[in-house]
Amino acid sequence: MYKKRQFFPRQVVEAGGNRWDWALLPIVLAVFVLLAYGGQQMARPYQLGQALPLSLDPANLPYYLLRTTLRMFIALGASVVFACVFAALTTKYRLAEKVLVPLLDILQSIPILGFLSITVTAFIALFPGNLLGVECAAIFAIFTSQAWNMAFSAYQGFRNVPAELSEAAQVFQLSGWQRFWRLELPFAMPGLLWNMMMSMSGGWFFVVASEAISVSNQNIKLPGIGSYIALAIEQSNLGAIGWAIFAMLIAVLMYDQLFFRPLLAWADKFRFEETGGDTAQNSWLLTWLRRTDRTQEFVAWCGRLLSRSIALFRLGHDGTSIRARRDHPSLVPQRVWDAVIVAVVFYALWSLGHFISTEVGWGEVGHVLLLGCYTMLRVIGLLVLAALIWVPVGVWIGMNPRWASRTQAVAQFLAAFPANLVFPVAVIVIMRYQLNPDIWLSPLMILGTQWYLLFNVIAGASTIPTELRHAAQNFGLTGWLKWRRYLLPAIFPSFVTGAITASGGSWNASIVAEYVSWGATTVKAHGLGSYIAEMTATGDFPRIALGIGVMCIFVMGFNHFVWRRLYLMAESRLHF
């Protein structure tokens, strides 16, 4: 059963609230003022071609930090909604699962800069004469760096609901809507929160590209940390880059203390166990909030307002809006849907064959497939190496809540550190010592994506029921037997989710990691990523499309033949 929430003793109700209300008031007012000011600045009048003021003066960093953080939180909110909708559709409708899961594989493998180049013009046209169009393009680019791993996490959580809880939901005759809010979303919440932290940190890697936009031969630099770093790189100002990294550290510490840590402590009540344990995280802000009077009344009022708003979108309490998945669905709609999918696939294959024969040639296809095999070997080797390092570390952190609280902000900062700032150092070292780029450029692919493994393993280890830990101790499990019979099965579903997102992120990162430049020096490794980067530099659009298409095929094939089978294994055998 889920843990009961522990309430602090209510304070004596005063007319103006108790002392905890007054202690929390400055934080609440500051958040509202900053949100209002940041939103006002995002919707300023703007004409394409107009220069936006940008300076490397460190005094401007608080304002730039506000703009960047606001964009990232808006993208994070959209990613949460997307992840929940995706998980609900794919776990309740088999027809939707057949289309949406492969579609997510494709979206995960498309380079994020490709989304930006396609959508920026549309967003600018949607809000003419206003900066909000460019802001929406930047937010969408950050969204594409956050949404996919959160969707996989929610999908994994929804599919691995324990059988006894599903049977209890059937006994209580919960509708599909009630099952979503009362069972599936709460069960998936701990893992989803850790992936939210990873998404927030991973978004920092793309703030440079999302805030320094090129469209219609115009370079638009939105005020923010990303454009600050881009300007510092253009001017070779190492001091400014240092100030930017320091500002990022402050931002990570602030939203860790004010947002993620309270959420993790609050989500502890959703842990699936029968006895209480010592695995809960603590949050001083949540403690303050639980001791307030007026603030809790305001939060409860907002919750009731949200519930009433959501009720407007329901078709009633009979679950017709979100149905429970049936064990024996009708075969006729499935056969029709399968026929539609097959027809679309055949048309796509015919179009692909026509494109290859007229634009690039079959010999080029064979060459690109060989380059894809090189990159695939790098991805597999790096994932195995990252798993050997971070799985034990993640299990240890997840099962020791005190150390989890201490290392949480550090892990977020390491994941948020822009790995592309390390690329020039790699070029200098490789050229100076005449190293083999095919080997020494490879680790750059995993620098930003290894954290997906760590955060998901921490999430899986932190949700292991306390009674299961006690049983392992009573049985005297140690060494490899403990890992094989207890720890690995317990974290396996979370590990698969982290491996999927880390794999897709590594393929994406190969575009910038296999083709690295510093000044007039360019170092490249043999692989699919360097092929796409080189064709992009020369403007060969048919070969760019070929490279991205082959990358999509590799990612989808790997997900289908490896990760999907591991998902099924996790559902049937390796979960608690």
Q: Does one domain contain both 323 and 411? A: no
Q: Does one domain contain both 451 and 575? A: yes
Provide the pLDDT for residue 248: 87
pLDDT, tens digit, 9 for 90 and up, residues 105-121 = 778 777 666 666 667 77
- Range among 75-89, 137-151, 546-560 with highest mean pLDDT value: 75-89
Q: Is the pLDDT reported for residue 216 higher than 70?
A: no
Confidence of residue 318 (pLDDT cuts 50, 70, 90): very low
Domain assignment present for residue 499? The answer is yes
3-class secondary structure, 214: strand
The token pair at 113 is 């800069």
pLDDT, tens digit, 9 for 90 and up, residues 502-524 = 888 888 788 878 887 766 677 88
Domain assignment present for residue 311? The answer is no
pLDDT, tens digit, 9 for 90 and up, residues 452-474 = 898 889 888 888 887 888 888 88
Provide the pLDDT for residue 576: 55
Task: Between 298 and 306, name the one with better pLDDT.
Answer: 298
- Alpha-carbon distance 151 to 148, whole Å? 5
Domain assignment present for residue 491? The answer is yes
Q: Does one domain contain both 268 and 365? A: no
Domain assignment present for residue 31? The answer is no
Task: Report the CATH number that the domain containing residue 135 is assigned in CATH.
Answer: 1.10.3720.10
Q: Which residues pair with 218 in a beta bridge?
A: 215
Among residues 284, 308, 328, the one where a domain terminates is 328
The phi-psi region of residue 110 (left if phi > 0; otherwise alpha if psi is between -120 and 50; otherwise beta) is: beta
Q: What are phi and psi of 60, to 5 degrees?
A: -85, -10
Provide the pLDDT for residue 537: 72
Q: Is the pLDDT reported for residue 151 higher than 80?
A: yes
Q: Does one domain contain both 323 and 369? A: no
Confidence of residue 160 (pLDDT cuts 50, 70, 90): confident
Q: Is the pLDDT reported for residue 13 higher than 50?
A: no
Q: Are 550 and 364 in contact (CB under 8 A)?
A: no
Domain assignment present for residue 105? The answer is yes
In this structure, are strands 521-524 and 515-518 parallel, antiparallel, or unpaired? antiparallel
Domain of residue 471, residue span: 361-576
- Range among 75-79, 240-244, 327-331 with highest mean pLDDT value: 75-79
Q: What is the mean pLDDT of residues 533-551?
A: 81
Domain assignment present for residue 541? The answer is yes
Q: Does one domain contain both 323 and 391? A: no
Closest CA relative to residue 116, chosen from 34, 6, 210: 210
**Total domain count, the chain:** 2
Confidence of residue 311 (pLDDT cuts 50, 70, 90): low
- Alpha-carbon distance 398 to 279, whole Å? 8
Provide the pLDDT for residue 332: 66
CB half-sphere exposure, 447, CA atoms < 13 A? 23
Q: Which long-range contacts (CB under 8 A, 24 or more apart) does 435-443 make?
A: 437/523, 437/524, 437/525, 438/374, 438/525, 438/526, 438/527, 441/513, 441/514, 441/516, 441/523, 441/524, 441/525, 442/378, 442/381, 442/382, 442/513, 442/525, 443/382
Distance between start and end Cα atoms, the chain: 13
Q: Compute how many other C-beta atoms are within 10 angstroms of the C-beta atom of residue 204.
A: 26
Q: Does one domain contain both 491 and 539? A: yes
Domain assignment present for residue 49? The answer is no
Provide the pLDDT for residue 6: 46
Q: Does one domain contain both 324 and 387? A: no
Provide the pLDDT for residue 373: 94
Provide the pLDDT for residue 75: 93
Domain assignment present for residue 244? The answer is yes
Contacts of 534 (CB under 8 A, 6+ apart): 515, 524
3-class secondary structure, 523: strand
Q: Does one domain contain both 379 and 324? A: no
Q: Does one domain contain both 264 and 395? A: no
Q: How far from the centroid of its chain's Cα atoms is residue 456's Cα?
A: 11
Q: Does one domain contain both 246 and 386? A: no
Q: Does one domain contain both 324 and 391? A: no
Q: Does one domain contain both 324 and 409? A: no
Q: Is the pLDDT reported for residue 325 higher than 70?
A: no
Q: Is the pLDDT reported for residue 161 higher than 70?
A: yes
